[in-house]
């Protein structure tokens, strides 16, 4: 029992250490410095905000689908 | 045949996708970011000002009635540590926040005497002491929170506080020679409360100048540009029939904006609630603020700080703080404000002119390392450390234009009242801390958060294209200017249709993908 706890602690510590070493997001730094020309005019033609929100929500739904179906396959609730 | 299990899975997926749980994970990415920034800034600024003001105004007054609990122990729920934490969370430069602009001095002075503040410390015991010593019952203090429309804010530690909405501004200008000297400034003030009336008393019997007064209330602007036309804006010319003991001078303007408590009529005859008086011989200021108790009804204090400059313009230090009082507002009390210590013989602390923003900054700088967060919930038997009351007390809330003070006593006031009207109206929209912030920034876990960030690049306020140019026709130049904003109203529907089309596309893609 004690050995198991030590293993868990060591594992978590190792994971935390590795996590600290992970690099920062390369994309978000770039995004903050990008100005797209004519973006206002683009939004005049297309409902970008709505499309973005719908897309993200749809992606969440699809991801959830695959996640849940994977879990259910593991539990043999559904077939392949 | 449609697979029932797959349909079930899809429905479950949609449920989770649209559920608040997943929304809080960060699918409402942009909204949450914006919300937290505005709220933190407003909350921080408001609370910080109230902190300084309470420190300055109440501690000495409470000492007069035998309550020696330092104000930093007794009233302030937001320690500097908490301010700093809120500032850091919102990426706000704390020092830069002080002294920014909305109420900045224009030329020779700007007055801003109302503050909004929120405290999260329960200091009922202090108030009870105060009331009992004055023969009052603490049970008399009841407030209808709805009237105040306070916004419930919860910080990262789960502490609750209320923040008022700033909804009113007023400007007072004048064109006469005298008033150019004395009130040729812009005085703006915001109030955490919503006024129901405003009063400008012109003590000059013959008004020949054109005086413009405008008050911006919640959704109505009252304006007058003619002399003696006060009624237009619910303003009342002083006729001498009303008695205000501290005002005996001519050539003075005395103004106050009133906000009733529970809509009781007393406020119109009570000049002690929120007052500005400016003139050659007397300058009187009363500042007031609002205190909210954690898990309790909000309460209101108004601290009256008189500055009686008896014509010399140089004796500000010695004449400051005469007739100081603290008013505890009680709802349900027909007499209106309960005025304690009115016309007290003992003055509130006397102090010299000092730049308010610098005073606050110095105060915070001096106390930063020693100020721990206030622990409201755990009684460990040890009193937390708090910063000592600064000496001299912070000069805040009572700024007077330099021209009137004169003789080296020039000082300005450049505090900003945050626009709390931008606060979200629904406390339920508080973003919680469900998501792990560090995941947003560490590769590769950040990728899921990068998607909305990239898509947000394309978000902007719609603006109709406009083509401008010059065509050289040889004989003359033709200026071309085609602005498609003529189709703005049509494009609203076009965008809606495009969105519907897009949703249908998603549906068909989903069908191809899953079935």
pLDDT tens profile B402-452: 222 222 222 222 223 333 333 333 333 333 333 455 666 777 777 777 788
Least confident of A32-41, B85-94, B226-235: B226-235
Rounded Cα distance, B48 and B160, in Å: 15
User: In this complex, is the C-beta atom of A57 within 8 Å of any C-beta atom belonging to chain B?
Assistant: yes
Q: Are B82 and B373 in contact (CB under 8 A)?
A: yes
List CB contacts (< 8 A) between B467 and chain A: none
- The backbone torsions φ and ψ at residue B214, rounded to the nearest 5 degrees and listed phi first, read -135, 140
Cβ atoms of B499 and A54 within 8 Å: the answer is yes
Handedness of CA B381, B385, B386, B392 (dihedral sign): positive
Residue of A nearest to B15 (CA): A61
- Smallest Cβ distance to B514: which of A36, A49, A65? A65
* B321 close to B61: Cβ distance less than 8 angstroms: no
Residues in chain B closer than 8 A to A65 (CB atoms): 9-10, 12-13, 514
Q: Report residue A53's pLDDT band, with 50, 70 and 90 as the boundaries.
A: confident
pLDDT exceeds cutoff 90 at B230: no
- Residue B505's pLDDT is 92
In this predicted model, which residue has the larger pLDDT, B498 or B201? B498
What's the confidence (pLDDT) of residue B502?
92
Check pLDDT > 70 for residue B361.
Answer: no
| Of residues B349 and B278, more confidently modeled | B278
Q: How far is B462 from chain A (nearest CA, A)?
A: 4
CA distance A1 to chain B (A): 30
For residue B56, what are the contacts with CB-CB under 8 A and spacing of at least 6? B349, B393, B394, B395, B396, B397
CB contact under 8 A, B16 and A60: yes
Residues from chain B contacting residue A56 (CB–CB below 8 Å): 27, 29, 451-452, 455
Helical (H) or strand (E) element with B495 = helix B488-514
Per-chain mean pLDDT for chain A:
81
Cα distances from B214 to residues B107, B188, B222, in angstroms, run 20, 10, 6
- Joined together, the tokens standing for residue B61 give 């007054």
CB contact under 8 A, B442 and A24: yes
Residue B132 has a pLDDT of: 53
From the list A22, A50, A56, the residue facing B27 with the nearest CB is: A56
Candidates B29, B446, B498; nearest CB to A47: B498
Whether chain B has a CB inside 8 Å of the CB on A68: the answer is yes
Contact A44 B484 (CB under 8 A): yes
């Amino acid at each position: 029992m004690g050995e198991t706890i030590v293993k868990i602690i060591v594992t978590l510590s190792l994971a935390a250490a590795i996590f600290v070493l992970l690099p920062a997001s390369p994309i978000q730094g770039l995004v903050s410095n990008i100005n797209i020309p004519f973006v206002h005019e683009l939004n005049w033609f297309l409902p970008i905000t709505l499309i973005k929100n719908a897309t993200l929500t749809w992606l969440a739904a699809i991801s959830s689908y695959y996640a849940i179906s994977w879990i259910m396959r593991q539990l043999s609730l559904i077939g392949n | 045949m449609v697979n029932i299990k797959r349909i079930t899975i899809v429905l479950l997926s949609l449920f989770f996708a649209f559920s608040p749980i997943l929304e809080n994970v960060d699918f409402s990415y942009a909204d949450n970011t914006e919300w937290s920034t505005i709220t933190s800034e407003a909350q921080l600024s408001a609370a910080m000002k109230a902190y300084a003001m309470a420190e300055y105004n109440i501690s000495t007054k409470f000492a007069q009635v035998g309550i020696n609990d330092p104000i930093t122990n007794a009233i302030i729920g937001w320690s500097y540590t908490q301010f700093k934490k809120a500032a850091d969370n919102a990426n706000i430069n704390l020092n830069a926040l002080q002294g920014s602009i909305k109420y900045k001095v224009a030329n020779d002075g700007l007055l801003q005497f109302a503050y909004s503040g929120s405290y999260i410390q329960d200091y009922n015991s202090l108030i009870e002491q105060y009331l009992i010593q004055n023969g009052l019952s603490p049970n008399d203090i009841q407030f209808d929170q709805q009237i105040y429309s306070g916004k419930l804010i919860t910080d990262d530690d789960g502490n609750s506080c209320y923040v008022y909405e700033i909804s009113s501004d007023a400007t007072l200008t004048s064109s006469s020679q005298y008033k150019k000297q004395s009130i040729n400034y812009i005085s703006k003030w915001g109030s955490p409360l919503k006024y129901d009336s405003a009063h400008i008393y012109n003590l000059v019997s013959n008004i020949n100048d054109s005086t413009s007064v405008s008050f911006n209330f919640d959704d109505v602007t009252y304006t007058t540009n003619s002399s003696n036309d006060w009624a237009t804006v619910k303003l009342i010319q002083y006729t001498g029939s009303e008695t205000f003991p501290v005002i005996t001078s001519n050539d003075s303007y005395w103004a106050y904006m009133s906000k009733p408590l529970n809509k009781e009529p007393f406020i119109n005859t009570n000049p002690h609630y929120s007052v500005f008086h400016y003139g050659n011989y007397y300058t009187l200021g009363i500042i007031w603020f609002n205190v909210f108790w954690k898990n309790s009804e909000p309460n209101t204090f108004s601290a009256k700080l008189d500055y009686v400059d008896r014509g010399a313009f140089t004796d500000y230090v010695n004449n400051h703080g005469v007739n100081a009082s603290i008013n505890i507002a009680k709802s349900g009390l027909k007499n209106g404000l309960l005025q304690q210590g009115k016309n007290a013989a003992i003055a509130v602390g006397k102090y010299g002119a000092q730049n308010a923003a610098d005073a606050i900054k110095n105060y915070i700088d001096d106390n930063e390392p020693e100020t721990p967060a206030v622990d409201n919930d755990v009684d460990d038997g040890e009193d937390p450390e708090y910063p000592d009351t600064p000496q001299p007390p912070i000069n805040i809330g009572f700024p007077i234009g330099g021209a009137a003070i004169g003789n080296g006593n020039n000082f300005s006031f450049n505090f900003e009242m945050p626009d709390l009207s931008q606060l979200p109206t629904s406390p339920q929209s508080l973003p919680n801390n469900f998501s792990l912030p560090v995941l947003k920034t560490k590769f590769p876990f950040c990728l899921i958060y990068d998607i909305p960030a990239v898509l947000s690049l394309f978000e902007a306020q719609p603006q109709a294209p406009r083509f401008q140019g010059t065509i050289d026709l040889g004989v003359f130049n033709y200026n071309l200017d085609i602005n498609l904003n003529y189709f703005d109203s049509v494009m609203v529907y076009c965008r809606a249709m495009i969105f519907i089309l897009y949703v249908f596309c998603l549906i068909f893609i989903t069908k191809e993908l899953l079935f």
